[in-house]
Amino acid sequence: MKKLINDPAHVVDEMIEGLVLADARLLRLAGETVVIRADYAALRDAGRVTIVSGGGSGHEPAHAGYVGEGMLTAAVAGPVFTSPSVDAVLETILTVGGPAGVLLIVKNYTGDRLNFGLAAEIARTRGVPVEMVVVGDDVALGDGNAAVGRRGIAGTIFVHKIAGAAAQAGLPLARVLAEAQAAAVNVFSMGLALSPCVMPAAGRAGFELGEDEVEFGLGIHGESGVRRATIGPVDAMLEPALEAILRHGKLLPGEEVALMVNGLGGTPALELAIAARFALRNLARQGIGVRSVHCGTFLSALEMAGCSLSLMRLDATRLRRLLAPSAASAWSAPTIPGAMAEVAAPDYGAEEAVSGPAWANAAQQAGFGGAIRAVIAALRHAEPELTQLDSAVGDGDLGISLARGADSVERAFDTLDLTRPARALAQVSALLRRSVGGTSGPLYAMFVLRAALAMAQEQEAGDVSAWARAVQAGCNGMMELGGAAPGDRTMLDALVPAAQALAQGAGDARARLDAAHGAALAGAEATRAMAPRRGRSSYLGDRTLGHPDPGAVGVAVWLGALAAALKEGGAG
């Protein structure tokens, strides 16, 4: 088990201490794992309803993250995935509760209902008015277990916000209760899990889920869901979840909702945004208006990977409460969805301004086109090798990046001006800068652009010396942009010797290109013994020794393709 903890027995205490130390607006209830607003006494004395929620820990930022103006007055944290004690809840109620009363918001789990319910009963005997709302928004198991009811999951956060805003507006307990209950019965959620989570005290996963498995409707404590299936595209996986939410919620075209896309703790924001895309597009197709969107991690299950979708049916009051400001640290104002608006990018047309000499005959032009196609094929073929090499010393994306660039040139091949190589190279440079990310994209785009500009100044397209000068110009541009030089263990360790061989070699174009390819191979091999001074490899230090630089190997790949194409009767 790898976790950033000290002692598994004290994780909740230390979490509460960290939260309170980090935020002067929060207090800890002495002797308890309870977070309270620092201004709770002023609220109580001003006759405001106070809002208390809580439950087992491990669901952060719930529940303490929602303690603050406009949301909760206090949050009672139990042990991980375990309800807090009756006494902890009771002490919280008696601390923050005044004549205006306290509203408890509880997720529908037996331990929470019993402990919060008994604490409420005792508090009433002490003269504190207390009401309780139980949230059961999870539609995964349907209504089959009527005795227990639906589980409470991420939609509970919507109820926190509605109740908190109503209390902030100064409403009496009965009306705050009514608004919270109305929100609770209009919230519907369902999730899916891609991985289990590890309980700190146990030190192992709470359940098993295969590498290619996904569980639909899994509870936030690892309780079983509806079914398991093989993982697939997120749209396909979320479709039955959203369908179940709409069916159980009886949500119809023309109605308006708030959407929450909630990460379960181990889900990157990138994946949550893709899930939000699915939900927003699907709801729009069904004629359901989404008035607000929350996308992030709001109620987690430790480090479980996966997400849940929640929809809350809106009326004017709930929308107003939802959009009301809150100072709780984990709450952010929802975004307001709009159409998929796009701004047209300007057409720079820089490559069209590059002209230069034309090929002397159709054979040279055909050979030039064949050489480009040969490079495309070679980079596609080398993708696995380059990916493997780059995975050992970098971030593993070089092969994919170069193959993506090759694909972009292939798709646009018929638009290239093959009659004038300088213009065609400028067009290729534009394609590379648009399609290839990372460091290789701009470097190769610069290399090809400088080569294009150099060729545009030449007199004969078929002059091998002109091409040698163009390649050297490309090398110079790459060095200026990237700041690297030969000896730094980069692609330049293959490219610069190749440019020199092309410029200084004897014989015709075929012989000189063969020499350039040989120089690139030798340069790439020499990088095995070089210490990296640039790029991601520089972070690995001596661990790169014995591995060739993948960028240098990539240069040898496309130079080899050019040499082979020229032997078959290419340009020059």
> How is 500-531 classified by DSSP, letter by letter?
HHHHH--SSHHHHHHHHHHHHHHHHHHGGGPP
3-class secondary structure, 160: helix
Give the dihedral sign, CA 285/256/53/330.
positive
Read off φ and ψ for residue 107, nearest 5 degrees. Answer: -80, 150
pLDDT value, residue 544: 58
DSSP for 398-456, please give it. Answer: HHHHHHHHHHHHHHTGGGS-TTSHHHHHHHHHHHHHHH--TTHHHHHHHHHHHHHHHHH
Tell me which of 3.40.1130.10, 1.10.10.10, 3.40.50.170, 1.25.40.340 is the CATH number of domain 350-567: 1.25.40.340
First to last CA, the chain: 63
Q: Which residues of the chain have pLDDT under 50?
A: 536, 539-540, 570-572
Give, in degrees to the nearest 5, the angle at Cα 303 between 298 and 304. 85
Residue labelled with tokens 């902030």: 168
205's tokens: 């996963």
Give the global pTM.
0.77
Give, in degrees to the nearest 5, the angle at Cα 78 between 74 and 83. 105
* Integer angstrom CA distances of residue 236 from 214, 230, 231: 12, 11, 9
Q: Where in the chain is the domain with CATH 3.40.50.10440?
A: 8-199+206-323
Structure letter (DSSP) for residue 88: H
The answer to whether 451 touches 473, Cβ cutoff 8 Å, is: yes
The answer to whether 448 touches 346, Cβ cutoff 8 Å, is: no
pLDDT value, residue 89: 98
Q: Where in the chain is the domain with CATH 1.25.40.340?
A: 350-567
401's tokens: 């990046």
Q: How many CB atoms neighbour CB 280 within 10 A?
A: 18
In the CATH hierarchy, which fold is given to the domain comprising 8-199+206-323?
Answer: Rossmann fold (3.40.50)
481's tokens: 């942009």
3-class secondary structure, 273: helix
Encoded amino acid at 132, one letter? M
* Strands of the sheet with 227-230, listed across from one edge: 227-230, 213-216, 187-193, 306-313, 256-263, 289-296
pLDDT value, residue 350: 59
The answer to whether 286 touches 253, Cβ cutoff 8 Å, is: yes
3-class secondary structure, 230: strand
The span from the CA of 52 to the CA of 328, in Å, is 14
Residues identified as active-site: 221
The span from the CA of 154 to the CA of 321, in Å, is 18
* Integer angstrom CA distances of residue 195 from 198, 237, 388: 10, 15, 27
pLDDT value, residue 270: 97
112's tokens: 């929470």
